[in-house]
Chains A and B, each alone.
Chain A
């Protein structure tokens, strides 16, 4: 498999979700490795604004043609927005995993970042899985 892409400024969980912090908002999606492992993505179920999510706990479901997988929260916080594109065009996650975000959260605690990997650590982690 070709080396996975993982842009700078993104942090990654062992379950292959990414999070990117901009001021008081953090954006969450899944990694290139995750979309590639899943294959054609056809359905995503994520919480609406107002719901709370907890780090390392399931916050939604993603389904490809072949399987359903839980989504795990990279950090805790309160959902302020979900991306309507992932419902109308779930295949866009395969095409552009780092642009096609799932939810935005606020009220997170940056100390939780120490349970995540930066881009270079995550690349090493993924290469160890193959």
Chain B
């Protein structure tokens, strides 16, 4: 099993380790609920070094053509220093992965991919680069990545780096001088809170992790494992590959219509996906809340009030913020209505639930550009 550079430190911190996509990762340190609430009210620190970093370089026109073809969001619209949430599409109109695309300049893009997918993303990129017009490098081994998330993340990182980070807007990034290198800091994350992802060399990443925990423990900063990472992203209604996003599910069905853009240079399976976007897919991912005691998990059947099978859950948990069970579910289009009562079958028992199209939480995440 693969280990991140922080593996030994996680064990020293008393983390419970679990296998995750081929990696031995911390699922929790102090407890999922306390880590979750620390991130919602103060700040949490996440080891995301297992994620992939892929660099695409070449002539501006060749890169633009290439990235427009393999992703569904508009690459053309990006400016230098901007990050974009995007998805890599396959020939069948499904997703290879969801990614963040960093435009360093017109000739160099940095792509952050999920841990379990960066090899398939690299291969897919290479398969679509048969004319070798762009240079694709899977550079994951050389990058360390940690995420600092929460309403206090900004003040903690400003203090630690002795920098004014206010000019760094939502989904923007910059390189800063630190520890004799240029570190990449982006105002991004996957918790629904304000915060940063920090990309560095491995030794610098380990140093930042240790020093942040030592220096800001008193402010309520906690290390956060995969358990709370999942409860935080479900509360924020963010999809996760392998659950809401699949290689044979269109981004429209996955409720990612907002990152599917009309293009002059179409992406793979463009007509199929754009047809879904215009006409509406047969089903979509929506939020649901359980109205009875119990916990929603992945793969539970969903029924209408009349008892018709109308979908199934794709993720579910106990929400530490709402103190009730919430989930994401794939539900037939005609039944999707905010406040619509449904039932979720939990181990043979039908329990009352409700469709919740609005937010689950009001996080500190910034939305200004």
Contact = CB atoms under 8 A, between A and B. Distances in A.
Specify whether A and B are partners. Answer: yes
Interface of A: 39-40, 42-43, 45, 61, 63-66, 68, 87
Interface string B214-248: 00000000000001000100000000000000000
Interface of B: 16, 27-28, 31-33, 227, 231, 293-295, 297, 317-318, 320, 325, 347
Given A65-B318, A66-B27, A39 B295 contact: no
B295 A43 contact: yes
A68 B295 contact: yes
A88 to B, nearest CB: 10
Contacts of B33: 40, 65
Given A65-B231, A65-B317, A65-B320, A43 B31 contact: no
Contacts of A63: 294-295, 318
Contacts of A65: 32-33, 227, 231, 317-318, 320
A87 B293 contact: yes
Contacts of A43: 293-295, 318, 325
Contacts of B293: 43, 45, 87
B340 to A, nearest CB: 24
Contacts of B320: 65
Nearest to B226: A66
Contacts of B27: 66
A42 B295 contact: yes
B347 A40 contact: no
A40 B294 contact: no
Given A43-B294, A45-B293, 19 more contacts: A39-B31, A39-B32, A40-B32, A42-B295, A43-B318, A43-B325, A45-B294, A63-B295, A63-B318, A64-B32, A65-B33, A65-B227, A65-B231, A65-B317, A65-B318, A66-B27, A66-B317, A68-B295, A68-B347
Contacts of A45: 293-294
A87 B231 CA distance: 21
A33 to B, nearest CB: 13
Nearest to B349: A45
Contacts of B231: 65
Give the 7 A-B residue pairs with the shortest CB-CB distance, closest first. A42-B318, A65-B32, A40-B33, A63-B295, A65-B318, A66-B227, A40-B32
Nearest to B293: A43
A66 B297 CA distance: 9
B318 A39 contact: no
B329 to A, nearest CB: 17
Contacts of A64: 32
Nearest to A63: B295
Contacts of B295: 42-43, 63, 68
Contacts of A42: 295, 318
A68 B297 contact: yes
Nearest to B16: A39
Contacts of A66: 27-28, 32, 227, 317
A42 B297 CA distance: 13
A61 B347 contact: yes
Among B28, B32, B318, B325, chain A packs the most CB atoms within 10 A around the CB of: B318
A61 to B, nearest CB: 7
Given A63-B318, A65-B318, A87-B293, A39 B227 contact: yes
A49 B31 CA distance: 33
A23 B318 CA distance: 39
Contacts of A39: 16, 28, 31-32, 227
A64 B320 CA distance: 11
29 contacts: A39-B31, A39-B32, A39-B227, A40-B31, A40-B32, A40-B33, A40-B318, A43-B293, A43-B294, A43-B295, A43-B318, A45-B293, A45-B294, A63-B294, A63-B295, A63-B318, A64-B32, A65-B32, A65-B227, A65-B231, A65-B317, A65-B320, A66-B27, A66-B28, A66-B32, A66-B317, A68-B297, A68-B347, A87-B293
